[in-house]
Amino acid sequence: MIEAKYRSFDELVKSPITTSGASPSEVHGTTVLSLKFDGGVLSLADRRATAGNLIMYDQAEKIFALDDATVVAISGAFARSVEVCRFLKHSFKYYKRSVLHEMSVEGKLAEISKALAGNAPMAAQGIGVFLPIVSVYDAKKDEFGVYFFDGAGARFQNGSYACAGSGSERIRGVFEYIARMKGPFESRPMEEVLRDGLEMLDIAAELDSATGGFAKTLPVTRILDRNGTREVSLELLKPTVDAVLRTR
């Protein structure tokens, strides 16, 4: 009997990170953040994409579901990060269809690290740099995780939150302040965490020119919970955004 050898998606389809270059005037996207809440993880992002000091686009999608248990929020080189997200999504789907079960959380994180490591030579030249935040649900352990990565693919896990992009530097300390004043994010309802996340995104937009606000365009939001992943409903998002804008 001849056993069929499993070949990874990367072996079958050459990874985009080794085949495409990038322009020095490439478009960048900022700012993204992920916050745990009681029963899941909430990811938020502004919609602005910039090239140098130019605003190129104010409708950018920066949060993607790679599968029903994995959400990635991207900052940095927009085209490159979208390309890699598409590659990873197909890679996870190919694995599931090949071996008839989901890739493990560790396997997914390793694939993301591999993608970033493959992009490192370009990143070292200052081209194609992107830094994702990954939210995952481990059904076997019934646990949610929030991970962030450096440009070489090393991953780090934070207990309650993560942020990336140029605006993240302006709000990093606010996370700890809110957690101390209101309690850990993971112990609070999603509606409260959504309000806090929008407040921080608004502060980042005020202090960082590369981060777009949401006075004209609603931000990108996505929930990951035990039932899968979905966008925050407009019925909840719109009044919460309005409440944040009124407190300016």
Over residues 61-102, the pLDDT tens digits come to: 999 999 999 999 999 888 888 998 999 999 999 999 999 999
Whether 8 maps to a domain, the answer reads no
- Which residues, including other chains, have CB under 8 Å from residue 20's CB and lie 6 or more apart? 80, 83
Give the pLDDT score at 85.
93
Peptide bond into 221 cis (omega under 30): no
Kindly indicate the confidence band of residue 55, based on its pLDDT and cuts at 50, 70 and 90. confident
Whether 17 maps to a domain, the answer reads no
Mean pLDDT of 163-181: 93
The Cα–Cα gap between 218 and 157 comes to: 28
More confident residue, 24 or 92: 92
Give the pLDDT score at 143.
97
Mean pLDDT of 208-232: 94
Whether 14 maps to a domain, the answer reads no
Whether 13 maps to a domain, the answer reads no
Whether 20 maps to a domain, the answer reads no
Q: Per-residue pLDDT for 7 more than 80?
A: no
Q: Report the number of distinct structural domains present in the chain.
A: 1
Whether 12 maps to a domain, the answer reads no
Whether 4 maps to a domain, the answer reads no
Kindly indicate the confidence band of residue 12, based on its pLDDT and cuts at 50, 70 and 90. low
Q: What is the DSSP letter of 18?
A: G
Give the CATH number of the domain where residue 89 resides: 3.60.20.10
Whether 10 maps to a domain, the answer reads no
Instruction: Please give the helix or strand (H or E) that residue 65 lies within, else none.
Output: strand 63-67
The Cα–Cα gap between 226 and 136 comes to: 10
pLDDT tens digit sequence for 184-209: 999 999 999 999 999 999 999 999 98
Residue 155 token pair: 């991953």
Domain of 168, in residue numbers:
26-246
Kindly indicate the confidence band of residue 156, based on its pLDDT and cuts at 50, 70 and 90. very high
pLDDT tens digit sequence for 29-52: 779 999 999 999 999 999 998 887
Q: What is the pTM of this model?
A: 0.89
